[in-house]
A and B are shown apart, each in its own frame.
Chain A
Amino acid sequence: MDKVSNKMEIRQISKTFFASKGYFVAIEDVSFDVRDGEFLVILGPGHCGKTVLLNIVAGLDKQTGGRVLYDGTPMDGVNNQISMVFQKLALMSFKTVMQNVELGLTFRGTPKNERRKISQKYLDLVGLTGFEKSYPYQLSGGMKQRVGIARAYANDPKVLVMDEPFGQLDAQTRYAMQEELLKTWEKDKRTVIFVTNNIEEALYLGDRIVLLSECPAKVKAIYPVDLPKPRDMTGKIFLDLRAEISSNTDLAI
């Protein structure tokens, strides 16, 4: 068997917030590896720690303990190899769809023609052809989320971090987006770190699932999911695994 190489290593990360009236532990001693090219899902109940953890992994937030290694070197701040799809979309309301997708390329000073070409490719990929000149307020929730995904891809990251990207979508759109995301991923095999609170979504997408506990967030278990994709959500192994993870999940209050 090939030796698996780690793209990122998360080592004993903890995060405590201090306020005037005491402190709050959001994350405690979380460790896991992110393997090169894998689709890693972080599954956690409720509202505890997931976004904070992702922000630390992406270099937006500072941990109070532990280290994050990227290709073996400790991270300090953001890294241009890591791109992110935000839970709250965070599209620029004053930019058109095209300009939103171009954001990273614009910052890097890529010439306009090339910028357009790359962005168009990803807009086509997420099915937004024809909406290049629209503003975000003119789009539905699902379409906005696709802009966020295209924006992250257009930046050509080695690692794509996705924070509950489908959380705000209706069930139908959600399934469709999951399938499209898988197709895109199969094509270019980027490393993906995907956060969700939905067990089915985790099982449908993930090569491995890191299950977090309720506050403070700790790693409860890591489940490899050795099923071919696209997965049959009614297959026996799928359902057994679902039951196993489900019984091990803390109830969110």
Chain B
Amino acid sequence: MMNLEEKKKSGLELFLYWGLPILAILLVVGGWLWFAISNPRLMPNPLQVYERLIRTFTRPVAKVNLFGHAFASLGRVLMALVFAWVIGIVLGILIGWSRVCKAVIGTIFEIIRPIPPIAWIPIVIMWFGIEEFPKVLLVFIGTFVPLVINTAAGIGLVDKINIDVGKIFGGNRFQILAQIVIPTALPSIFAGIRTSVSSGWTTVLAAEMIAAQHGLGALVTRGWQGSDMALVMVAVITIAIIGAFLAFSLNKLEKWVCPWTK
């Protein structure tokens, strides 16, 4: 009897884990097919998109194939992320740990933080033009904000008792910060890293859509302006796949960096 119950339950689990997600994807593909067949001028069908994908390799856009465009976008994000992680985490720690820093930097930050990264586009372009630096700068702004917020919140939320433990066991202020407070806040910092990556991936595309030769955002604009919907779809699907892959890798990285969070 017990076994039967368990079997039934595992059947349901299996359906929830595999059945429903597959069904959801089929639904999207089905909707796409239906839309493409009833409006062939607005929406290319999957086969046409596949053919367009092949053509991005045989006849590269702006002399660069799809991988080249993907790497151009990824490179910008990565460069911005490296700076954002270092500066954002350090600033977040300062704001969370020191009341003076919170009063000064925290206040400035509270003013800047509600501005969406895309709103910086005109400002950054007017100040720095449309070269590589302004794009990276835009991504930096978009990634740096969630990092500071999450890091500062994580540091601020560390239970006072953990700090008391540090004091009782003879830690000085720096030891308590480095060996107790920061590790305790690490899961929050990681949440910030995750948000920063997805935000960076969004911002780079927006920046590229406005002014870029290479990059997935440039592909979207190119397709859009040339009424080449299939190219837009190729770029959009690539964006989705890379975005999902980034999220997945970050989850793995987090499990490796914070093994205590099950």
Contact = CB atoms under 8 A, between A and B. Distances in A.
Interface of A: 55, 58-60, 77-78, 80, 82-84, 86, 88, 90, 92-95, 103-104, 106-108, 135-137, 151, 155
B258 A90 contact: no
Contacts of B172: 107
B170 A107 contact: yes
Contacts of B175: 107
A83 B166 CA distance: 11
Nearest to A99: B179
Contact of A155 (B169, B179, B258): B169
A80 B168 CA distance: 7
Nearest to B172: A107
B8 interface: no
A82 B169 CA distance: 9
Contact of A60 (B168, B170, B180): B168
Interface in B156-204: 159, 161-162, 164-172, 175, 179-180, 183-184, 186
B262 interface: yes
B260 A94 contact: yes
Contacts of A60: 164, 167-168
Contacts of A155: 169-170
Given A60-B164, A106-B179, A135-B260, A92 B184 contact: yes
Contact of B171 (A77, A84, A90, A107): A107
Contacts of B164: 55, 60, 86, 90
A144 B170 CA distance: 21
B259 interface: yes
Interface string B219-262: 00000000000000000000000000000000000000011101
Interface of B is mostly: helix
A107 B169 contact: yes
Nearest to B169: A104
Contacts of B186: 94
B168 A78 contact: yes
Q: Which of A80, A86, A94, A135 has the most CB of B within 10 A?
A: A94
A137 B168 contact: no
A92 B167 contact: no
A54 to B, nearest CB: 11
B184 A94 contact: yes
Nearest to A96: B260
Given A107-B170, A107-B171, A137-B262, A90 B161 contact: yes
A135 B259 contact: yes
30 contacts: A55-B164, A58-B168, A59-B167, A78-B168, A78-B170, A80-B170, A83-B168, A83-B169, A84-B168, A86-B165, A88-B161, A90-B159, A90-B161, A92-B162, A92-B183, A93-B184, A94-B186, A94-B258, A95-B183, A103-B165, A103-B169, A104-B169, A104-B170, A107-B166, A107-B170, A107-B171, A107-B172, A107-B179, A137-B260, A151-B169
A59 B180 CA distance: 19
Contacts of B162: 90, 92
Interface in B57-116: none
Contacts of A151: 169
A223 to B, nearest CB: 28
A83 B168 CA distance: 6
Contacts of A92: 162, 165, 180, 183-184
Nearest to A85: B168
Contacts of A137: 260, 262
Interface in B23-72: none
A84 B166 CA distance: 11
